[in-house]
């Protein structure tokens, strides 16, 4: 753990704390869960949408390091499916979209506000270049599949509630709601714009960049507001037990799986291997809360998972860096 990364962690906690204190001090009146959700919808429908559209519209497919990307995203997507299946019993208690919501928390890391300075501090320009390329596809890939899974679960629940529907109707509802989702729609539109070769006018690109730059501060403040709105203080032990499994998957199981696939399956070593493993080891990202608020469930749990995993990252990051150092020393001695 470098000093630069530690300072970034402190800055994240400070920003979350500002949101919590602002809500607690009622700087903008009494904040309810519904009002916190309104801010989350603003973040997803405007700021996150602008960021995703701009990212998809600017992808240079010819220049992508496909082996490195597959070494990360294939196990990540497999883990999304595994967590969704693992949590399917929770759907009856928490809602149809609960398994996919927990899958986002278990796989979507804080790749920007924490991941970028970490990659720069630990791996220099070569590692930062790989990390930024992965960031460009991070939301495009790891938010699309959970969205489709959540919408499929909701379509099935709607069919059961209103009587059996033909499979074609369920699939049509899933496809329609997935494509119109504020995460997927800007991605699809951006990819179509990219493939059409239109390019982005300088003014449009600057406007999208400006809107996208609001994602990090708004989402971090939103975490603090949500923690206050959901009143987690008196149920700390219960919250800790609820988020511990997801945090363990995110901080331990995901980097272990990526390490096994990247090194054993794709033969990665050195800086590329270290970058993908540490990308997988990042704590839960703020989009997990925005995703939960979209479906109006597990919002308090998502906010707590972000905070708890970021705290635990101080220890788990050191563990994975030690594993990578041991592997590098072993390879050098061979």
pLDDT in tens, 50-67: 888 888 888 888 878 999
Average pLDDT over residues 314-321: 90
Predicted pLDDT of residue 98: 94
For the segment 277-311, what is each residue's pLDDT rounded down to a tens digit?
999 999 998 889 888 988 888 888 898 898 899 88
Q: Look at residue 234 and tell me whether its pLDDT is greater than 70.
A: no
Place 41 in a pLDDT band, splitting at 50, 70 and 90.
Answer: confident
| Domain boundaries, given as residue ranges, for the chain | 3-327
According to the model, what pLDDT value does residue 208 have? 93
Residue 73 reports pLDDT greater than 60 = yes
Q: What is the 3-state secondary structure (H, E, C) of 255-269?
A: HHHHHHHHHHHCCCC
Q: Is the pLDDT of residue 163 over 70?
A: no
Average pLDDT for 185-190: 86
Report the pLDDT averaged over residues 106-123: 84
Of the candidates 331, 303, 304, 277, the residue with the CA atom closest to the CA atom of residue 118: 277
Higher confidence at residue 297 or residue 79? Answer: 79
Q: What pLDDT does residue 174 have?
A: 67
**Mean per-residue pLDDT for 229-245?**
71
Integer Cα distance of 320 and 318 in angstroms: 6
Q: Best-predicted range by mean pLDDT among 19-33, 54-68, 219-233? A: 54-68
What is the CATH T-level fold of the domain 3-327, as seen in this structure? Na+/H+ antiporter like fold (1.20.1530)
**pLDDT score of 151 more than 80:** yes
Inter-helix orientation angle 115-142/3-24, to 10°? 70
Given a cut of 90, is residue 324 above it in pLDDT? yes
Calculate the CA 150 to chain-centre distance: 15
What are the φ/ψ torsions at residue 29 (nearest 5 degrees)? 85, 180
pLDDT confidence of residue 210: 93
């Amino acid at each position: 753990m470098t000093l630069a990364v530690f300072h970034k962690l402190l800055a994240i906690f400070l920003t979350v704390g500002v949101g919590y204190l602002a809500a607690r001090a009622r700087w903008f009146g009494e904040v309810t869960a519904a009002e916190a959700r309104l801010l989350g919808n603003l973040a997803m429908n405007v700021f996150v949408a602008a960021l995703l559209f701009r990212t998809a519209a600017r992808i240079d497919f010819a220049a992508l390091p496909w082996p490195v990307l597959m070494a990360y995203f294939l196990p990540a997507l497999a883990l999304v499916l595994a967590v969704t299946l693992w949590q399917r019993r929770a759907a009856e208690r928490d809602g149809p979209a609960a398994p996919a919501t927990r899958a986002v928390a278990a796989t979507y890391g804080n790749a920007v506000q924490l991941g970028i300075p970490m990659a720069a501090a630990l791996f220099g320009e070569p590692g930062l270049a790989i990390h930024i390329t992965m960031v460009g596809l991070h939301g495009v890939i790891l938010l699309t599949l959970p969205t489709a899974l959540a919408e499929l679960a909701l379509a099935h629940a709607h069919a059961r509630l209103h009587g059996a529907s033909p499979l074609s109707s369920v699939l049509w509802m899933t496809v329609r709601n997935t494509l119109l989702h504020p995460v997927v729609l800007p991605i699809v539109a951006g990819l179509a714009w990219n493939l059409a070769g239109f390019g982005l006018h300088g003014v449009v690109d600057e406007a999208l960049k400006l809107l996208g730059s609001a994602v990090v501060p708004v989402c971090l403040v939103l975490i603090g507001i949500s923690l206050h709105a959901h009143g987690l203080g008196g149920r700390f032990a219960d919250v800790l037990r609820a988020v511990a499994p997801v945090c363990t998957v995110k901080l331990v199981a995901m980097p272990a799986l990526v390490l096994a696939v990247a090194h054993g399956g794709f033969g990665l070593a050195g800086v590329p291997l270290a970058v993908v493993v540490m990308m997988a080891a990042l704590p839960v990202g703020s989009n997990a809360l925005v995703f939960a608020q979209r479906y109006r469930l597990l919002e308090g749990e998502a906010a707590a998972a972000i905070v708890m995993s970021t705290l635990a990252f101080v220890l788990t990051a050191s563990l994975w860096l030690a594993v990578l150092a041991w592997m590098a020393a072993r390879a050098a001695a061979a």
